[in-house]
Amino acid sequence: MTVRSIALVTLIVHDYDEAIAFFTRALRFSLVEDTQLTPAKRWVVVAPPGGTGAALLLAKAAEPAQAARVGDQTGGRVALFLETDDFWDDYRHMHA
């Protein structure tokens, strides 16, 4: 077997709908999938518009230890680097 790419990167969030709103409105990501798995768990995937690389799986924190890591999932290191073709346009959109 040869691994060819990374398909999904999990990001722990406090609330599915709040995270979907942030990624789709502020970052203009596409909502790829939002499937209810159990009453408390959903499979939520967002991806950059037109992206052909990895997408983000938004996973709701299910226990206190996970909730404590939201916003600090990499121990203070940068988790993701986003690439843009027009920084100032994206910056203005995020701050609108």
Q: Is residue 95 part of a domain?
A: no
Question: In CATH, what number is assigned to the domain containing residue 14?
Answer: 3.10.180.10
Q: Is residue 68 part of a domain?
A: no
What is the structure's pLDDT at 78?
92
Asked if 56 and 47 touch (Cβ cutoff 8 Å), the reply is: yes
Q: Is residue 76 part of a domain?
A: no
Q: Is residue 47 part of a domain?
A: yes
Q: Is residue 5 part of a domain?
A: yes
Whole domain around residue 57: which residue ranges?
1-62+81-90
pTM score of the predicted model: 0.90
Q: Is residue 96 part of a domain?
A: no
Number of separate domains in the chain: 1
Tens of pLDDT, residue by residue, the chain (96 residues): 788 889 999 999 999 999 999 999 999 999 999 999 999 999 999 999 887 889 999 999 999 999 999 999 999 999 889 889 999 999 999 898
What is the structure's pLDDT at 35?
98
